[in-house]
Structure 1
Amino acid sequence: MLSPFERILFFLLVAICLAAVANTFTLMARVIGRGQGKLNLNDLPRRVMTGIAALVSQGRIIRHRKLTSLMHYGVAFGFIFYGLVNVIDVLEGLIPGFTFFHDNIIGQVFRLAADLFAAAVLIGVAYFLLRRFAAQDPALKIRGNVKLMERVREGGIAVDSLIVGLFILMHVGSRLLAASFAVAQHGADAWQPVANFIAGTFLGGLSPDALTFGTHFFWWLAVGLILIFLPYFPYTKHAHLFMGPFNFMTSPERTYLGQMFKLNLDDESIEQFGANDLDDLPQKHIVDAFACIMCNRCQEVCPAYNTGKELSPAALEINKRYYIRENMSALAAGAANGTPLLDYAISQSAVWACTACGHCIEICPVGNVPMLDIMEIRRDQVMMQSEFPEQLKGAFVGMERMGNPWQAQSSRMEWAAPLPFEVPTVEENPNYEYLLWVGCAGAFNPDAQKTVRAVATILNAAGVSFATLGDDETCTGDSARRAGNEPLYQAMAEANIETLNAAKANERRIVTSCPHCFTTIGKEYGELGGHYAVFHHTQLIADLVGRGKLRLNGKTLEQATFHDPCYLGRHNGVLAEPRASLAAAGMTLLEMPRNGKDSFCCGAGGAQYWKEEEHGVSGETVNANRYREARATGAAVLAVGCPFCNTMMSDANRDQGEPMQVRDVAELVVEAMAVPLATN
């Protein structure tokens, strides 16, 4: 129990702390408020539950770095529980005679939890400090060719980590010592085994006055550290404790992992499109900077970083964080901010090295979306600065003038010429069940043409009524949008929506062999008024096999490994159907270490297919990195489910002398078809 003087001192410190907390948290809120749009707070009860779920699961960090994640769970849950511990300690110190159910099971369990969580926190924080400063884990470092603010490069992250680590060690350690002194003073407590051990081992010979002093001293140290540290929260990585759940809670609803949202191109009052400086980013993206824990998990899975390029999604968020930190007061006061993101947050080479694979978004335990920052910067570069890789001009011109990035002028139906049956257009078969969306790759790329022919063969054999748009089909605009050319994307999307609706595709189903078309038509056209039920061909194959509409001999018995396309598996969660189709075709699946939602990119996404790949210090290309992993499985067949993956893996295979067969799932299924079925 505190003396009257101590109680007065405590309330004075609380008043000072609350004033400081109000100031620094107000600064943080004002900086976030400088961003575009608003944070999403509609349907608040559900969003609060989303935040709580993120807090409890810690962003599902257990999926990777198992030991580190377990340590983090101990630290996180322990520190959160210590919020209650601090409240109880303060009440017991301020209120004469108050104890928290001391002889009741509730109080006993509370003391046990506080004791064990203290041990978990101290062990966990010691692990993290040793990992960073003694072991110097390479995963926590950022390569020298990546743009990083000078203060960060000179040890800013290490200092921040040390401050946070020492604060937690001292706070929790002080509270545990206060409990240990109290145990030594009042007698053993079986519900506090760690405090009992400390009291019995180290404090047994102290006088009553020393024990009383120790109890008060460490009580003040534990509580005082919280009061001192709280105003400093927004300036440290420890802010992720509450900003992470808040980030999940206020994130916009997306139809798939990496959905981009349309720009209002018709609003003449808008002078800036895309993000040139911090203020141009959506408010949620500024929250990202405060939420970032600097764990580098996003960097660890980034295709560009893994092949030595200048892009690190972690560095992007860390640079944003430190820029805000160094200019917090000025930004909060409304000072003009004309510092381009390219000056401090990310290099131009890194902006164009992104494959838009979405892995940085999927893996982030605090809900950050660095890929979408890059997409916003690309919009500024293309629409406002007219600065983009020269090779993209050809793709843009082809989409604008000829409806395809290949700049091909031939018929989009030439792929069907070798088939032994007629492929009808919508005019010829207006009562179709499935509209076969061929896609630009399927129409003009020889490897992709084989895939579309296989899909058409499967539809024909299963007796599925289908049709195509023929030469009325044009590019979906996916590459234009990922390259930052939003006006071109919207023009192509609106034209396609008009064509699709005229063909009554909004009343039927669409099947495509391209995950990018699958995503764009099915998940992004809705913003522009086009709502369609779109299926990837592996989904349709699995369904046809499951319903007995397609019979396969299943006798291939060949070993295959499947490369999950980013825009099928990670972005849209289509994982089981391609594997079910391969199994039905008799393939024995050998999984690569990076598979499913953790699949490594082929290197073609994000409009990379239409430009030269940025040079990295390793000299390795993204597709070579992925192919090396596929070949290491020992499989004879590398199965794919995307025309761009097909090309990238085929190129890598040819570079190695073609030791594997690179085949689309549809091609393998056609080979396993027992009897072509014209009906039922």
Structure 2
Amino acid sequence: MLTLPEKLLFIIFAILSIYLTYIGFSQIIVAVRKGQPEYYSRSNRLFERIREAFVRTIGQTPVLKSRPLVGVFHSFIFYGFTFYLLVNLIDLIEGLLPPSFAPLSGSPISSWFRLGSDVLGFLVLVGVIFFVWRRFVSRDTKLERFNDSVLLQAEVRAGGIRMDSLIVAGFIFFHVGFRLFEAGSLLAAEGRLDPWQPVATLIARVVGFGPDRIIGWHIGWWVSLGLILLFLPYFVRSKHIHIFVAPIRLGLGRRAATGEKIGSGALDPLNFEDENVEQFGVAKLEQLRWSQVLDAYACIQCNRCTNVCPAHETGKALAPSAIEINKRYELNSIRATLAKGAESPRPVMEFALSESALWACTTCGACVGICPVGCEPLIDIVDLRRDAVMTKAQFPQDLNSAFRNLERAGNPWGLAQDNRKDWAKEIAAPTVEENPDFDVLYWVGCAGAYDPSAQKIARAFTEILHHAKVRFAILGNSEKCTGDLARRAGNEYLYQNLGAENVQILNAALGNRDKRVVATCPHCFNALANDYPQLGGKYRVMHHTQLISELVSDNRLPELILDENITYHDPCYLGRHNGIYDAPRQVLNGPKRIIEMQRSRENSFCCGAGGAQFWKEEEPGNTRVTENRFQEAQATGAQVIAAGCPFCKSMLSSSESAGETGAPLVLDVAELVAENLRRVKSKLGIG
């Protein structure tokens, strides 16, 4: 127990520390509350959210998933530090109150408590040593590897993250280390050993036994708990505030009013009917939604998102983690003035990311998918694009042509609407007027209608539908672009106009009938399934590989038999954004038949077409995104790269490596199935 002067001194320091910490936390709360309201709910199904956040936090699954070894050592610190909340509380009580108030004195669980504090404390020290070695000795490039062109706050560029990590590592190491020293000194002063405290017992042997060793207990108590008082005010500035914020963020995923989770492929709509709105998109920090502000504090600055970003991996100026890091440092510098009611002093584009970075994003969703705490830098990028396009009219000129074509012709190629059905001149594709009793409405998409490469996919899929005797129809010349490219490029107004027209046409075609809409383009699929419900269009949407898989299972199509080895490329808007991985693989005769690329399924690497990149020049880097992906596919030794997206097929086929002798052929799953169908018919002598 402490002396009376020690108690008074500690209480004074504690009051000062808590006061300064309260100011910091209150400023953070004010900053988050300055954010705009959410479109999707972040609080419904509250019990379910709390349970999910608790399970993921306690299980450490998000951290263990992508970096297992790092996750193990992180778990040492997490579980140890969590237990030390109880250890510190008991130490505080034992130091400030008489021995009669000792909470575990004589308790049957006292031995287990001592064992836990001893062993977990040792594991915390092991974890800290590992992370210090990783950051400062081996200098793992995954942690702070940013391309030179990435915009970083001056403090970050000067090593602010490393200094922050060093301060936090020092705090944890000395806090836990001196707590173990405290326990060992107490054993030494009492002249005994404790089998339940092996580390403390070892320390007691080292310091030697004797009543005078009680001074070691006082030193250990003051250093271990005093460090907490010193650290708390700094804690609100440190990246390690994620200890508190990250579990909250894990429970704040987007959900519809009915409670179902909203995938990363959906975006929040803008209200163009509100005449009081003068700003479309985001220009300043306070124009972000409050969850986007919270992301800056939830981010653990692990760089996982940047490590998987196709733009950053190919040398471009975009680093998703830098967006959150820059937001955090900006908020730290201005949060006191924000708390007084002032506005943020400068636009987000001045400190968070460069113009080249803004337009390098493919909206593949890899950053969102891998984030262990649920941050969504992709949403920030689209919101900033909206401001650039609709408020400032500052965007790549290449997109001007695509926007103009969408407005004038209803497709980004700018080709005549009357020619939209020309792809079907050689094969019967009835319209909804010609076949009103259809079971499946085939959404052809602009690529299938106008792009020669994608037209082959549309014809192949139509051939499959005929063979399987599926009653289907198309919209023909009534169909227009879903507006996906406009929306991902930030032109929300153009997207909503196109979407509203399509919803009206679809609702008229489908009526009240529960018919399925099938798309060969994942971008169309995503728009129909995730975007159009915001416009009043709720449909049963399938990808063509899902329907083909179903037809094969029902024996309405023969199984695919190929002599060539196949690797399958997961389209971002089919896989990561919508979770469809198995259907294409089932069509290709199962996972055993496919030679998987190193990056596949939810870890797939983008082809480079998404986020309107297909319609503009790629931003400066050291290689094209599609070149990176094609070379990975080529390295598998497969003769065929199977795709489930017309844009993926086009991009991969355009790779420089694709023109080399012996390079794998890029084909859509539907083309492979249709070719197999022709071979089977030929063998059977069927026309």
TM-score, normalization by structure 2 = 0.94
1:103 Cα deviation after fit: 5.4
User: Residue 435 of structure 1 aligns to a residue in which SS?
Assistant: strand
1:297 and 2:301 correspond: no
Aligned twin of 2:542: 535
CA distance in 2 between partners of 1:270 and 1:40 (Å): 23
Q: Deviations over 1:50-98 (max 9, x none)?
A: 3223322436122222221211111112112211211122223224234
Residue in 2 aligned with 1:578? 584
Residue matched to 2:8: 8
CA distance in 2, matches of 1:304, 1:129: 29
Report the Cα offset of residue 193 of structure 1.
Answer: 1.8
**For 1:156 and 1:191, how far apart are their aligned partners in 2?**
41
How far apart, in 2, do the equivalents of 1:183 and 1:577 lie? Answer: 63
- What residue is the counterpart of 1:663 in the other structure? 667
* Partner deviation per Cα, 1:368-398 (whole Å, 9 max, x = no partner): 1111111000000001000000010111111
Counting only pairs closer than 5 Å after superposition, residues 351-362 of structure 1 correspond to structure 2 as 351-362=358-369
CA distance in 2, matches of 1:302, 1:173: 38
The question of whether the paired residues in 2 share the 8 Å contact of 1:59 and 1:367 is answered with no
CA distance in 1, matches of 2:666, 2:204: 67
- Quick check: 1:392–1:611 contact (8 Å CA) kept in 2? yes
Q: One-letter code of the match for 2:663?
A: P
- Give the letter for the 2:132 counterpart: L
Letter in 2 for 1:601: C
**Letter of the structure 2 residue corresponding to residue 415 of structure 1:** W
Partner SS state of residue 542, structure 2:
strand
Q: How far 1:657 moved relative to its partner?
A: 4.4
What does residue 448 of structure 1 align with?
A: 454
- The residue that corresponds to 2:332 in the other structure is 325
Equivalent residues of 1:557, 1:588 under 8 A apart: no
State the alpha-carbon separation in 2 of the partners of residues 483 and 249 from structure 1.
Answer: 29
Gaps of 5+ in 2: 256-260
Q: Closer, same or farther in 2 for the Cα pair 1:519/1:438, shift >3 Å?
A: same
State the shift of 1:293 in Å.
Answer: 1.4
Give the equivalent residue in structure 2 for 1:36: 36
Paired residue for 1:307, among 301, 307, 314? 314
**What letter corresponds to residue 369 of structure 1 in structure 2?**
E
| AA of the residue aligned to 2:618 | E
Q: Which moved more, 1:164-173 or 1:654-663?
A: 654-663
CA deviation after TM superposition for structure 1 residue 587, in Å: 8.3
> Which sits farther off after the overlay, 369-378 or 18-27?
18-27
Which residue in 2 is equivalent to 1:463? Answer: 469
Identify which of 630, 649, 654 aligns with 1:651. 654
Structure 1 residues 170-179 or 595-604, which shifts more? Answer: 170-179
Alignment-derived partner of residue 17 in structure 2: 17
Show the counterpart of 2:189.
185
> What's 2:347 paired with?
340
2:625 maps to: 622
What's 2:129 paired with? 126
Question: Which letter maps to 2:229?
Answer: L
Q: What residue is the counterpart of 2:268 in the other structure?
A: 261
Q: Map residues 104-503 of structure 1 onto 2, 5 A cutoff.
A: 104-141=107-144, 142-186=146-190, 187-200=192-205, 202-204=206-208, 206-209=209-212, 211-253=213-255, 254-409=261-416, 410-419=418-427, 422-503=428-509
RMSD over aligned Cα, in angstroms?
1.9
The CA deviation string for residues 15-35 of structure 1, in whole angstroms up to 9 with x for no partner, is: 223222221100110111111
The one-letter amino acid of 1:582's match is: L
AA in 1 matched with 2:51: M
Contact residue 265 and residue 578 of structure 2 kept, 8 A: no
**Structure-2 residue corresponding to 1:62:** 64
CA contact (8 A) 1:116 1:194 kept: yes
User: Which residue of the partner structure matches residue 618 of structure 2?
Assistant: 613
Q: Distance in 2 between matches of 1:306 and 1:58?
A: 27
Counterpart check, 1:556 vs 2:558: no
Distance 1:483 1:76 in 2: 40
Deviations 1:490-518 (A, max 9, x none): 01111110000000166211111111111
2:99 is paired with a residue whose SS is coil
Worse-superposed segment, 275-284 or 63-72: 63-72
Q: Distance in 1 between matches of 2:670 and 2:102?
A: 70
Aligned equivalent of 1:75 = 77
Question: Bigger CA drift: 87-96 or 527-536?
Answer: 87-96
Out of 640-649 and 270-279, give the one that drifted further. Answer: 270-279
The CA distance in 2 between the partners of 1:173 and 1:663, in whole Å, is 60
> Helix, strand or coil for the counterpart of 2:397?
coil
Q: Residue 159 of structure 2: SS of its match in structure 1?
A: helix
Does residue 52 (structure 1) correspond to residue 54 (structure 2)? The answer is yes
**Count of aligned pairs:** 668
Q: For residue 230 of structure 1, report the CA deviation from its aligned partner.
A: 1.8
- Separation in structure 2 between the aligned mates of residue 77 and residue 143 of structure 1, nearest angstrom: 34
CA contact 1:234–1:290 (8 Å) conserved in 2 = no
Contact 1:273 1:379 in 2 (8 A): yes
Once residues 329 and 54 of structure 1 are traced to their aligned partners in structure 2, the CA distance between those partners, rounded to angstroms, is: 33
Displacement of 1:294 in angstroms is 1.3
Contact in 1 for aligned 2:480/2:498 (Cα 8 Å) = yes
How big is each residue's C-alpha offset from its partner over 1:176-198, in whole Å with a ceiling of 9 and x where there is no partner?
11112123233222122222222
d(CA) in 2 for partners of 1:546 and 1:3?
79
| Aligned partner of residue 327 in structure 1, secondary structure | helix
Post-superposition offset of 1:241: 0.8
Provide the C-alpha distance between the structure 1 equivalents of 2:404 and 2:567, rounded to a whole number of angstroms: 37
The one-letter code of the counterpart of 1:416 is: A
Rounded Cα–Cα distance in structure 2 between residues aligned with 1:658 and 1:669: 22
CA distance in 1, matches of 2:328, 2:172: 21
CA distance in structure 2 between the partners assigned to 1:651 and 1:107 by the alignment: 68
Residue 601 (structure 1) aligned with residue 609 (structure 2): no
Q: Output the CA distance in 2 between the equivalents of 1:534 and 1:647.
A: 24
Counterpart CA distance in 2 for 1:198 and 1:184 is 8
For the 8 Å contact 1:378–1:483, the answer to whether it is kept is yes
Q: CA deviation at 1:119?
A: 1.4
Task: Answer yes or no: is the 8 Å Cα contact 2:153–2:351 preserved in 1.
Answer: yes
Structure 1 SS opposite 2:666:
strand
Q: Give yes or no for contact 1:100–1:107 (8 Å, CA) kept in 2.
A: no
Tell me, in whole angstroms, the C-alpha distance in 2 between the residues paired with 1:57 and 1:485. Answer: 41
**4+ residue runs over 6 A deviation:** none
Amino acid at match of 1:15: I
Query: AA paired with 2:413?
Result: W
Report the secondary structure of 1:539's partner residue.
helix
Q: CA deviation at 1:335?
A: 1.5
